[in-house]
């Protein structure tokens, strides 16, 4: 009886293919093909006057890593990107967790208002955020000088966006301000999904307050924090808009705010009299893709596997 | 009701019949959408009055999209008959691709100097492919009321210029100079390229770099950076985070006395400033030196070789070399000066002051504009933005800035190697 059943050949399940097809097709057209095309583009060179296209293999990459005029800017942008990411990890995510923890305390008055208000900047366009902050920090018309002076810190005021030492940090803080709503919301949701019984059990054992947060809740939301870290990483290494709107395509002062994204933009599309070089730009874009890929892979293979997930 | 429809149809018929009687219809491609009314109301009616059989339409695109839109139209065969040319390589590229016609036989071109034509001529100087329209001149615009209040007069030399700046600073009522370094472009265009030609002797220096007989580390190229290094102390607090629109506003609000400028600011400043404006040219290094001004070629008009109305288009291009056009255009757009050799009179006093320097000084264009920004990385013009801003910020010495620019140029430009 059982033998007869297993021997009977199952019909091919076409509906699986049919249902997968739209997603696979759209993903291929808008993601995989452009990626492959970028890779292909980076192996060619177009002569600026004759428009002749030649296959040059890895020469664009050789140029990028061995020509002083490329390798310096590239690693400067890479380092700036890491710095930008580190600030987000040290400031945005811990504060996001903290705000979420505060919001999840059910007796907090006005918490719906705070939740919305803190999430609002995330919905704004980069351009608006960039211009608003640029105006607020402006030494001519900005409010920041007056605000600092009113609390007795007037001497701390600097043209923050105009100094090499402070510009990138300032931009990182602006970006943190804008995106803090995302870790907050995700952690908030994770905290709410912790079952009451777990908390009640902890309370019965006398674990309350800070100890309860660090020993129970934080452990339970670690996988979410991991996801947030990887989202931050991908977002930061693709960052471009904020720098472009506040500092322009040359990422001043003296390239101190140049990220991989702005370098890619400048190379690909050109800048004023500098003609764009789509092929070299494609090489940089491919490097960005590889860096993000390696980062995500490290997370998936070495960190996420070690995170213990608890059944809740 | 029926009557209205019929009369409407009749009018439409008459209009279409009227347009059929014109010999040719020309369309102008341009990025100057700001100038649409000036072309429609002033310039084109004057031409069409003299040439009733040619109908011309001005069809501009937004500046940021112009190059891309024009390329697409040219390749698709839908571009207009007349094409507004950007200076140097972007127009040269079109010519090399056969999308701009050579105009050597056009007699109107004799009305323009070689410097004026250089932006739209092949590297060997043999073929010109656009009729030059306008240039912008660099200099300094100042607040006449403030100068009168402080008893100051227009400085002639660098020494006098510094004395004026010191006096304004000592008085404390005005910021001596309105400029910021956040956008960097101001530092290069209104700083280095504004005062520089006096030191590198205009065309002599510019061609010296192109031919490889001079280097950017030579004293005549470093000296302007040394002058810029002094500027930082005369700019407003926090100038490092001050952008281009900030500087314009600071000056038109009357809070700053001097504005390192280009003549394109004239219309805006005339509208926004409620004090009297004056202009003085870049200061001479020493009294009695010959003077050189940056008279930067900016806009020209070329012919689409695919145009079916090439003959009519040539009539229009010829007219663009006439005194009438020069007069009309320069007066409608004060600050954009005709590049022709005709002596023109301008109504705007500030524009008149700028253009009067042409008779006193030799003209040159921005030193990095021609050939030197072609294809190479690092780009010399972008490099000048960063270098000039760094020098004014005091984060790089003039010698270091010049050395970096020279090293960048040498890395790809053969005559400098």
**Per-residue pLDDT tens digits for B2-35:** 555 555 544 444 444 444 444 789 999 998 887 8
Which of the residues B123, B240, B250 would you substitute to probe the A interface, choosing the one with the greatest number of A C-beta atoms within 10 Å? B240
Q: If pLDDT is split at 50, 70 and 90, which confidence band does A308 have?
A: confident
- ipTM score of the complex? 0.84
pLDDT at A164 over 90: yes
Contact between B184 and B385 (Cβ < 8 Å): yes
**Per-residue pLDDT tens digits for B374-387:** 766 788 988 999 99
Percent of chain B's residues with pLDDT above 70: 94
Task: Summarize the confidence of residues A169-180 as an average pLDDT.
Answer: 96
pLDDT at B158 over 90: yes
Query: What residues are paired with A271 via a beta bridge?
Result: A274
- DSSP classification of residue B345: -
**Per-residue pLDDT tens digits for A210-263:** 899 999 999 999 999 999 999 999 999 999 999 999 998 888 899 999 999 999
Task: Summarize the confidence of residues B255-271 as an average pLDDT.
Answer: 92
> Residue B237: which of A139, A247, A252 has the nearest Cβ?
A139
Question: Chain B contact for A57, CB < 8 A?
Answer: no
pLDDT of residue B21: 40
Judged by CB atoms closer than 8 Å, whether chains meet at A69 and B390 is answered as: no
> Residue A275: which of B238, B368, B375 has the nearest Cβ?
B375
Which of the residues A68, A160, A244, A252 would you substitute to probe the B interface, choosing the one with the greatest number of B C-beta atoms within 10 Å? A252
Q: Which residue has the higher pLDDT, A247 or A309?
A: A247
Residues of A with Cβ-Cβ distance to B237 under 8 angstroms:
139
DSSP B212-267: TSS-TTSHHHHHHHHHHHHHGGGBPTTGGG--HHHHHHHHHTT-EEEEEEEGGGHH
Q: If pLDDT is split at 50, 70 and 90, which confidence band does B1 have?
A: very low
Q: If pLDDT is split at 50, 70 and 90, which confidence band does A155 have?
A: confident
User: Tokens for B128?
Assistant: 């010109």
CA distance A217 to A215: 6
> Residue A254: which of B239, B242, B386 has the nearest Cβ?
B386
Nearest Cα of chain A lies from the Cα of B186 at a distance, in angstroms, of: 13
**Per-residue pLDDT tens digits for B229-257:** 999 999 998 999 999 999 999 999 999 99
Phi first, then psi, for residue B145 (nearest 5°) are -60, -45
> Residue A250: which of B236, B240, B386 has the nearest Cβ?
B386
**Per-residue pLDDT tens digits for A72-131:** 999 999 999 999 999 999 999 999 999 999 998 777 788 889 999 999 999 999 899 999
Q: How far is CA B90 from CA A62, B67, B239, B247, in A?
A: 29, 8, 33, 30
pLDDT of residue B63: 75
Q: Domains in chain B, ordered, with CATH?
A: 2-135+297-352 (3.40.190.10), 137-295+366-416 (3.40.190.10)
Q: Domains in chain A, ordered, with CATH?
A: 59-306 (1.10.3720.10)
Q: If pLDDT is split at 50, 70 and 90, which confidence band does B317 have?
A: very high
Q: If pLDDT is split at 50, 70 and 90, which confidence band does A8 have?
A: low
Which of the residues B98, B177, B182, B247 would you substitute to probe the A interface, choosing the one with the greatest number of A C-beta atoms within 10 Å? B182
Query: What residues are paired with B132 via a beta bridge?
Result: B300
Q: Is the peptide bond before B38 cis (omega within 30 degrees of 0)?
A: no
Q: What mean pLDDT is reported for chain A? A: 90
Judged by CB atoms closer than 8 Å, whether chains meet at A253 and B381 is answered as: no
Q: Which residue has the higher pLDDT, B95 or A1?
A: B95
Chains A, B: CB contacts under 8 A, how many?
107
Percent of chain B's residues with pLDDT above 90: 64
Contact between B54 and B319 (Cβ < 8 Å): no
Nearest Cα of chain B lies from the Cα of A266 at a distance, in angstroms, of: 11
Q: Angle at Cα B241 formed by Cα A69 and Cα B195, nearest 5°?
A: 70
Question: Chain B contact for A226, CB < 8 A?
Answer: no
């Amino acid at each position: 009886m059982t033998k007869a059943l297993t021997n009977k050949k199952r019909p091919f399940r076409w509906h699986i293919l049919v249902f997968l097809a739209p997603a696979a097709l759209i993903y291929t057209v808008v993601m995989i093909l452009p990626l492959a095309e970028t890779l292909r583009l980076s192996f060619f060179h177009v002569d600026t006057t004759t428009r002749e296209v030649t296959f040059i293999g890895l020469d664009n990459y050789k140029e990028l890593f061995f020509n002083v005029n490329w390798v310096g800017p590239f690693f400067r942008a890479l380092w700036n990107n890491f710095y930008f990411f580190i600030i987000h990890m040290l400031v945005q995510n811990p504060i996001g967790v903290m705000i979420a923890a505060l919001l999840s305390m059910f007796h907090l008055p006005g918490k719906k208002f705070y939740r919305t208000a803190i999430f609002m900047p995330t919905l704004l366009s980069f351009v608006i955020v960039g211009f608003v902050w640029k105006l607020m920090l402006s030494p001519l018309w900005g409010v920041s000088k007056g605000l600092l002076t009113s609390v007795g810190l007037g001497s701390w005021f600097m043209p923050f966006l105009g100094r090499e030492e402070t510009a990138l940090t300032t931009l990182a803080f602006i970006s943190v301000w804008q995106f803090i709503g995302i870790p907050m919301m995700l952690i908030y949701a994770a905290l709410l999904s912790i079952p009451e019984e777990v908390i009640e059990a902890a309370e019965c054992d006398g674990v309350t307050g800070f100890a309860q947060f660090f020993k129970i809740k934080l452990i339970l939301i670690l996988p979410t924090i991991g996801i947030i870290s990887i989202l931050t990483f991908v977002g930061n290494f693709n960052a471009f808009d904020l720098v472009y709107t506040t500092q322009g395509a040359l990422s001043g002062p003296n390239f101190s705010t140049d990220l991989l994204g702005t370098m890619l933009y400048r190379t690909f599309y050109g800048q004023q009299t500098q003609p764009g070089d789509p092929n070299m730009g494609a090489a940089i874009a491919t490097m960005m893709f590889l860096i993000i890929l390696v980062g995500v892979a490290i997370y998936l293979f070495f960190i996420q596997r070690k995170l213990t997930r608890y059944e809740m | 009701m029926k009557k209205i429809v019929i009369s409407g149809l009749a009018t439409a018929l008459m209009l279409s019949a009227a347009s059929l009687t014109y010999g040719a219809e020309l369309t102008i491609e341009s990025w100057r959408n700001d100038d649409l009314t000036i072309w429609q109301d002033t310039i084109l009616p004057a031409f069409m009055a003299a040439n009733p059989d040619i109908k011309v339409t001005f069809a501009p695109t937004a500046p940021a999209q112009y190059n891309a839109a024009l390329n697409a139209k040219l390749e698709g065969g839908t571009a207009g008959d007349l094409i507004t040319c950007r200076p140097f390589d972007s127009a040269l590229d079109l010519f090399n691709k056969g999308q701009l016609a050579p105009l050597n036989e056009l007699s109107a071109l004799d009305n323009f100097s070689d410097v004026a034509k250089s932006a739209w001529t092949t590297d060997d100087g043999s073929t010109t492919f656009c009729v030059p329209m306008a240039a912008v001149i660099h200099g300094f615009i100042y607040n006449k009321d403030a100068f009168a209040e402080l008893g100051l007069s227009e400085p002639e030399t660098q020494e006098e210029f510094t004395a004026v700046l010191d006096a304004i600073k000592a008085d404390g009522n005005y910021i001596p100079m309105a400029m910021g370094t956040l956008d960097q472009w101001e530092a290069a265009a209104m700083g280095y390229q504004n005062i520089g030609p006096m030191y590198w002797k205009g065309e002599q220096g510019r061609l010296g770099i192109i031919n490889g007989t001079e280097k950017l580390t030579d004293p005549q190229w470093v000296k302007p950076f040394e002058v810029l290094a002094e500027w930082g102390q005369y700019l407003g607090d926090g100038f490092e985070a001050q952008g281009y629109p900030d500087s314009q506003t600071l000056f038109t609000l009357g809070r700053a006395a001097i504005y390192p400028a280009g003549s394109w600011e004239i219309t805006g400043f005339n509208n926004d400033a409620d004090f009297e404006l004056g202009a003085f040219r870049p200061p001479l290094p020493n009294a009695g030196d010959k003077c050189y001004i940056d008279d930067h070629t900016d806009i020209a008009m070329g012919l689409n070789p695919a145009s079916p109305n090439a003959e009519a288009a040539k009539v229009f291009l010829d007219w663009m070399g006439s005194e009438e056009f020069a007069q009309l255009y320069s007066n409608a757009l004060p600050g954009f000066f005709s590049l022709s050799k005709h002596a023109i009179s301008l109504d705007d006093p500030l524009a008149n002051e700028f253009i009067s320097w042409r008779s006193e000084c030799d003209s040159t264009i921005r030193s990095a504009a021609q050939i030197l920004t072609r294809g190479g990385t690092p780009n010399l013009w972008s490099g000048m933005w960063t270098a000039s801003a760094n020098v004014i910020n005091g984060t790089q010495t003039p010698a270091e800035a010049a050395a970096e620019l020279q090293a960048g140029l040498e890395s790809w430009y053969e005559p400098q190697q």
